[in-house]
Chains A and B, each alone.
Chain A
Amino acid sequence: MSTETLSPPPVTRSSKPGRSWASKLGLQLVAVVVAVAIWWLITTVLASPTSMLQDFAPQHAIPAIGALAAQGVLFPDIWTSLWRLLVGLLIAVVLGVVTGLAIGTWQSLETASRPVFQFLRMVSPLSWAPVAIGLFGIGDRPVFFLVAAAAVWPIVLNTAAGVRSIDQGFLLAARSLGATPAETLTSVVLPAIRPHVLTGLRLALGIGWVVLVPAEMLGVTSGLGYEILNSRDQLAYDKVMAVILVIGLLGSLLDALARRALGTGNRQAV
């Protein structure tokens, strides 16, 4: 029942002794060092001195982040990409929650929509890129569309699952207290599905971020995805690798933030 989903286990995090936390961090640090070492080994030691792989080496790529920043393109690109992600996600949340509420509430609608949704879900959102550019032209809007098209599904599915898992007794209790359907929605349904929607949002954020970069390679002239292509066209492979690093770091950061928001978001009114 919802009591279980409403009390996530963050307690265990704080109750764990500091030493195991430190040793976990130590292990992860070791893994990062090993990964960088492999990266260096492949690009610097194993690759022939004339290979373009040399440019991808950590000793070139990491300083290239600074070069991109000095050039004045890095931060505008980051903001542009984050803005597109945010707008795409907002569209996905609005459409996804409404759709999820509807198919979670009416079983027949869920049954009816299943094949269509299944079909749409299995089409890579990037396949829509030509359609999106044709429809919305060059600029931010096709990117919003593609991010939203990718991010909407986890929100729809989690919202619908949330609605179906609501204790029917809660709805009966609200109704017997004189709640109208709209009041039941705001006082019972929406708070009850909140943890599910947040889980969907976190998944949506990950998918949206993954789709954002290739979406920015089509029909826009700014953003991190565009910067990868732009750097490649200048044969600046160190910068290509630098943007990839930034994308990975930002993505991890966003996911960590979402995870945190999700963890504390459930512990209201304690």
Chain B
Amino acid sequence: MGTVALRLTGATKRYGDNAVLDGVDLDVERDGRLVVLGHSGSGKSTLLRVLAGLEELDSGSLTRPDSADGRGAVVGTVFQQPLLLPWLTVRDNIALGGRYRANRARFDAAHVEELIDLFGLRAQADSLPAALSGGQAQRVSIARVVAVRPDILLLDEPFSALDPATRRSLQLWLRDAATALGLTLVMVTHDVDEALYLATEVTLLDGSGRAAGHWHSDTPTGHDDLADHPLRATLLAGYRSQLGAAAAS
């Protein structure tokens, strides 16, 4: 940990009159796991798309401070839906990025086979996406991004469409996979427990386009420890006040 891979300074993004992001400052630390927490409509997906380079800022800047010491900042994005191409097998879906010239230097087919094993998809490697469960499909979609060897993995509520049990097991799995692959993780979610379980850093969005707070978080060992997590009460309180404000307005 230490250097900053991505830095947002005074990021502002408007859709019409509505400021979705209003002067947000954010540092994504190398090898850390940053979770951006906010309720729906708080601008967290927009924030992620800005980090992914899929959306332009109206003002403010996105910089890569540690690229000077030779570290790349190739960003890969996992979306809420798996978005697997239905006509390709699991293996071909994971290898999709290898067909694009931008990834040619970083991609190799042997790595795809390693990922199939690491992500527990060996039995499904030759199946079409229609035959996968929701959890499997989302694992394939993460593997597809990891296969192009990004330095930073962005995840936009990747588990929100899954049932609670699958969700928990994927959170556990993602934490291990990120450590094993040496990935810098940025995830947005509205789930406080998911945030606490995965994060080394937590940023809470206040619902009006600004950051309400930023905390360093000690990673709990298991889901059972979450209830006693020192940060949980703080985050939940911040969260509730926003929901109350949103309901009142």
Residues of chain A whose beta carbon lies under 8 Å from any beta carbon of chain B:
1-3, 6-7, 167, 169-170, 172-180, 183, 187-188, 191-192, 194, 268-270
- Majority secondary structure of chain A interface residues (helix, strand, loop or mixed): helix
Interface residues of B in 73-104 (CB under 8 A from A): 76-77, 79, 81, 83, 85-89, 92, 96-97, 99-103
* A6, B87: Cβ atoms closer than 8 Å: yes
Select B85's contact among A176, A180, A183, A188, beta carbons within 8 Å. Answer: A188
Determine whether B128 belongs to the interface, using a CB cutoff of 8 Å to chain A: yes
The answer to whether B79 and A178 have CB atoms under 8 Å apart is: no
- Tell me, rounded to whole Å, the shortest Cβ–Cβ distance linking B123 to chain A: 16
B233 at interface (Cβ–Cβ under 8 A)?
Answer: no
The 4 A-B pairs with the shortest beta carbon distances in the complex, nearest first, are: A178-B102, A173-B83, A169-B83, A177-B97
Contact (A269, B89) CB under 8 Å given A3-B130, A177-B103: yes
Q: Name B54's closest neighbour in chain A (CB-CB).
A: A176
**A169-B100 contact given A3-B86, A7-B130, A269-B128, CB 8 Å threshold:** no
Q: Within 8 Å of chain A (Cβ to Cβ): is B52?
A: yes
CB-CB under 8 A from A180, the residues of chain B are 100-102
Give complex CA distance A158, B248 in Å.
Answer: 49
Contact status of A172 and B92, CB under 8 A, knowing A177-B145, A268-B87: no
Contacts of A2 in B (CB 8 A): 86-87
Q: Which residues does chain A contribute within 8 Å of B62, judged by CB atoms?
A: none
Report which residue of A3, A177, A192, A270 has the largest number of chain B beta carbons within 10 angstroms of its beta carbon.
A177
Query: For the complex, what is the distance from the CA of A159 to the CA of B130, rounded to whole Å?
Result: 24
CA distance A169 to B129 in the complex (A): 15
Shortest distance between the CB of B209 and any CB in chain A (Å):
23
Known: A191-B87, A269-B92, A269-B128. A173 touches B79 (CB 8 A): yes
Cα A172 to Cα B82 with chains together (Å): 11
B144 within 8 A of A: yes
Q: How far is the CB of A175 from chain B (nearest CB, A)?
A: 7
Residues of B within 8 A of A3 (CB): 86, 129-130
Give the residue of B96, B129, B130 whose beta carbon is less than 8 angstroms from that of A177. B96
Smallest Cβ distance from A103 to chain B, in angstroms? Answer: 23
CA distance A192 to B99 in the complex (A): 16
Q: Which residues of A contact B130 (CB under 8 A)?
A: 3, 7
- Per-position contact with A for B124-160: 1 when CB-CB < 8 Å, else 0? 0000111000000000010011001000000000000
Show the binding face of B for A, using Cβ within 8 Å: 52, 54, 76-77, 79, 81, 83, 85-89, 92, 96-97, 99-103, 128-130, 141, 144-145, 148
Q: Is the CB of A178 within 8 A of B54?
A: no
B83 touches A172 (CB 8 A): yes
Residue contact B148 to A178, C-beta cutoff 8 Å: yes
Q: What residues of B have a CB within 8 angstroms of the CB of A6 in the complex?
A: 86-87
* Residues of A close to B81: CB separation below 8 A: 169
Is B103's CB under 8 angstroms from A187's CB? no
| B contact residues around A7 at 8 Å (CB) | 130
A177 to B95, CA, bound (A): 11
CB pair A183 B77 closer than 8 Å: no
CB distance from A119 to the nearest CB of B (A): 36
Smallest beta-carbon distance A111→chain B, Å: 24
CB distance from A166 to the nearest CB of B (A): 10
Tell me which residues across on chain A come within 8 A of B144, comparing CB atoms: 173, 177
- A178 touching B128 by the CB < 8 A rule? no
* A194 contacts across to B, CB distance below 8 A: 87
Given the known inter-chain contacts A3-B130, A172-B54, please indicate yes or no for A183 contacting B99, CB distance below 8 A. yes
B50 CB → nearest A CB, Å: 13
Shortest distance in angstroms between A196's beta carbon and chain B's nearest beta carbon? Answer: 13
C-alpha gap A177/B102 in the complex (Å) = 8
Q: Which residues of A contact B97 (CB under 8 A)?
A: 177-178
A221 CA to B219 CA, complexed, in Å? 85
- Could you tell me the distance in whole angstroms from the C-beta of B241 to the nearest C-beta in chain A? 34
